[in-house]
Structures are given as C-alpha cells and as structure tokens.
Amino acid sequence: MGEVISVFEYDLLGSENSAPVGAKHLNPEVFAYLEELSLTSIQGNQFLKLTSRSGFKLLQVQNYAGMLSTPHGFQLEILPKVGKNLTTESARETFITMLSHLPGFRHIQTQQATLQAQRMPLLEIFISQFLQSVSQLLKQGLRSDYVSEQGNLPFMKGKLMLSAQLRHNAVNRHKFRVDYDEYMPDCAANRLLHSALDKLLSLKLSSENQRWLYELCFAFDGIPLSRDIESDINSLRIERGMAHYSEPITWAQLILRGMSPSALQGNTKAISLLFPMEAVFESFVTQTLPHELPPHLKVIPQAATYSLVKHGLNDCFKLRPDLLIQSRQPVQAKMVMDTKWKLVDNNPQKKSLYGLAQSDFYQMFAYGQKYLDGTGEMYLIYPAHDDFNQPIQQHFAFSNTLKLWVVPYQITAKRGERMMWPRDVSCTMRPKPDGMLG
C-alpha cells in the first residue's frame, strides 16, 4: 500500500523541511502537486487553500472529507473533525455512517466498513467493498447479451449480406458474409466492471486487496475494456434478472469517473472521493430525521415556498430552510430546522455565545416570520461531540411566541436516539423515552 497520511478538516500541510511545528510534512513533489490542485480548483469547490504561517507556505484543508490519491503513490485521507480528541478510527466510522445515508452510497456495507475502519484508510475500504460486490456478482454469474457481429463464415448464420457476399465470395462460394447476433458476456455492464478493475491496477493497494484484484481481473479476461465509458454508462439498463449488478456497477461508475467532485473533474492523474461536509451532514440529517419524529409529522427538505421580499410582482431572495416539519392532517408547518456543520461548545465561558454565528440567527428569524408566521419553535442542529452532548438549556427568544433551540445530533447513535431534544419540548414533537415514536 502507498504511503497514507491522515489529516482532519482545517489541518495544515507543509513541504518537508520547510513547515512549522503542527503542520503535516509532505514530500516536496506531493506538496507541489497539491498546491497546483488548490490553485486550479473551481471557485467554491476548493478543498485545499494556500496560506502561510510564520513565513512558511502551507496548504490548509478546508471543510471537505474523503481521500485523494496522487500520481506519486501517496494518499491523503481527510477525515471530518467532530470534536477535539479524535482518533482516525472513530472519525472514519462517523464519516462512513454519514456516507451510507447519501443517495448513491446506500450500498455501503456499514457493519463491514466500520470494522475495516479500525485498520484501513478510506480508499482501501471503498475498494474492498467494490471487490466484495464483484465477487458476489461472479458467484451469481455474469450476464450475457446479444452482440451484433459480422463475419465471413463457412456456414450460414443470421442474415446474408448480399452485396458483400457478391464482392468478396465470388470465388469462395463455400463462405458466407453474414450479419448475426452472438450471445456473449461482452455487454456494457461487464465492460464497465472490467474497466474499473483495470483502473485500480495502477494504485498501490494493500497486499490483500491487490491479490483479490488480480483474481477478479483474471475472471474478466475474456471481456474487452470499455472503448467509450460515458457511452456504456448511458446505455446501461439494470433489467430483470440483473439486480446483483446494481451495487458493483454503482462502485464502478465512481471509480471510472475518477471518484471526483467537480473540483477535480478532468484530472485523470488521481482517484479522489471528496465531499463538502456541510452537504454530507445536511443530507444525513434529512435522511435520518423522520425516525426521530412521531408519525404524524413529516419532513420537507429545502422548502422554497416563501421569499424574503417582493419587488413589484417579483419574489426576491428565496428562503430555503434545510428542513420544514409539517403535520400530515391537516397540513400545517410545525417547526423549521437548519443544519450547521460546525463545532459549538455548551460552555459559553470557552466560546463567546457558544460559538454561534449572528448571521445564522438573522436567517432563522426570516424563516420564522415567513414559514411560522412569527409563532412556533425552530432548531439549529449541530453535530454532537464531547463539549456539546446536550441541547443548550435556554432557548433563544426572537419574541414571546418565536423560540429557537440549539441542539446536538448524534451521528453514530441508534435510530430514534440521534436528535437530542430539549426537555421543554412538547411530547408530541419528540420520541418517547424508550425510543418508540409517540
């Protein structure tokens, strides 16, 4: 396996022999490569930021998590910063838990991945899961499909190509120029799987994954690589009898497209899988929050019913709370919630006003006026950690009728126990103490 350096969000990276204490030291070639990536990243999708400390040129990891492999055989693993006294193992477990609830990643085997997180970096975990899914597919059998072929055969098969027959076989009358369909495993799905396996051969993997990879490549030896990956992806149809293809094909598409966010698209020299943590946390809460609510309430993500102001007949500045909680019968807005990927501190002595941002309060005030008519309860949801494992005891009052609570969300807790409700919240808005929804 190539060299792996694990860092957390907002850590500093420096070049060997020219970095201050506290920065992770990188090979100068690797540092130069990452510096180039930071300068060429699309604005707004920058996972590394060029900065300086005490005269040293440094790169600071931004609020992205995931992994990046470089052409030098080096892997950078970026883990989410949830708390201060983190271990790489617990951070990986937290990250994998969140990813498994993202659309497109629900195929992650979380129990297996959590065990692997104790000894493997993220890239090895993802590749291991892909190889496992391909192994399961081979046990159930590769799908074959009819492939159009043309040939000059000693027997008649399919449709005779009359003009080609007259042109080429005027003398060799025992031959037939024919167009026919052959039932073969050379189909788009199998070509994509073979191409994904082939792409991984260029990486320095653990001996276990490397051996497994070679075995699977041998099983696909008779299937050609994809000549046009995007065309094969677009032509994919997971038809009846192909359910066992769904998981390996999902992994294969990620690998073949570089496992890359928009910040790195077009860069074929590296395999990367990087996620903006605000989006990951918001999506995780959106997917899991329905299990934290009683059944008479439903979650509406990214509602856009109201705007901040009107200008003539035009609505200006759409107001989009992350989560609007409505009652089902009658349909009525009950709560507004927003997620924030930030560490807050329950002790106001350590951080001024718990580390909360004034801009978030302005935003919530606007939501409360428009979606709740100035009456009701709102929530700012932050990730739980050692210094924030209970809701802030006192609510924030915009008025006598509009309250804002600041609460932690336990990512790795059991279903029904993730949302930490304030004690004063009505029992109709929260689960019962035994975890059952009420």
Which pLDDT score, from 0 to 100, does residue 107 have?
55
The pTM score is 0.76
Parse the chain into domains and list their residue ranges: 4-141+188-277, 145-184, 293-429
Which pLDDT score, from 0 to 100, does residue 268 have?
42
- Count of CB atoms situated within 10 Å of the CB of 352: 9
CA 149 and chain centroid, separation: 40
Bridge partners of residue 382, in order along the sequence: 408
Which pLDDT score, from 0 to 100, does residue 149 have?
64
**Residues 305-321, mean pLDDT to the nearest whole number:** 90
Confidence of residue 338 (pLDDT cuts 50, 70, 90): very high
Using alpha carbons, list the distances in angstroms from residue 55 to 19, 20, 81, 289.
Answer: 9, 9, 26, 46
Residue 80 pLDDT more than 80?
yes
Pairwise pLDDT comparison (231 vs 432), residue with the higher score: 231
Cα–Cα distance measured from residue 257 to residue 259, given in angstroms and rounded to the nearest whole number: 6
Pairwise pLDDT comparison (109 vs 141), residue with the higher score: 141
**pLDDT digits over 172-190, tens only?**
767 777 665 655 567 888 8
Using alpha carbons, list the distances in angstroms from residue 80 to 116, 164, 281, 285, 407.
Answer: 17, 64, 10, 16, 19
Q: Dihedral angle at the C-alpha atoms of 349, 355, 358, 359, nearest 10 degrees?
A: 180
Which pLDDT score, from 0 to 100, does residue 286 have?
93
**Residues 209-238, mean pLDDT to the nearest whole number:** 87
Which pLDDT score, from 0 to 100, does residue 267 have?
44
Which pLDDT score, from 0 to 100, does residue 366 have?
95
**Residues 301-325, mean pLDDT to the nearest whole number:** 90
Confidence of residue 374 (pLDDT cuts 50, 70, 90): very high
Pairwise pLDDT comparison (117 vs 84), residue with the higher score: 84
Cα–Cα distance measured from residue 141 to residue 138, given in angstroms and rounded to the nearest whole number: 5
**pLDDT digits over 89-137, tens only?**
888 888 888 888 876 665 566 555 555 555 678 888 888 888 988 998 8
Confidence of residue 430 (pLDDT cuts 50, 70, 90): low
Residue 389 pLDDT more than 80?
yes
- Nearest partner of 279 among 45, 76, 84, judged by Cα: 45
**pLDDT digits over 189-211, tens only?**
888 999 999 988 887 788 888 99
Which pLDDT score, from 0 to 100, does residue 28 have?
86
Range among 228-232, 252-256, 266-270, 295-299 with highest mean pLDDT value: 295-299
Residue 435 pLDDT more than 50?
no
Rg (CA), the chain: 27
Confidence of residue 420 (pLDDT cuts 50, 70, 90): very high
Instruction: Using a pLDDT cut of 70, give the percent of the chain over it.
Output: 79
**pLDDT digits over 1-60, tens only?**
568 888 999 989 988 777 677 788 888 888 888 888 888 765 445 788 888 887 888 998
**Residues 287-295, mean pLDDT to the nearest whole number:** 92
Q: Which token pair is 428?
A: 């109709």
Which pLDDT score, from 0 to 100, does residue 317 have?
92
Q: Which of 35-44, 298-307, 359-368 has the lowest mean pLDDT?
A: 35-44
**pLDDT digits over 233-249, tens only?**
888 777 676 778 888 88
Cα–Cα distance measured from residue 47 to residue 77, given in angstroms and rounded to the nearest whole number: 12
b/e code 54-92 from CB counts within 10 Å (16+ = b):
eeeebbbbbbbbbbbbbebebbbbbbbbbbeebebebbb
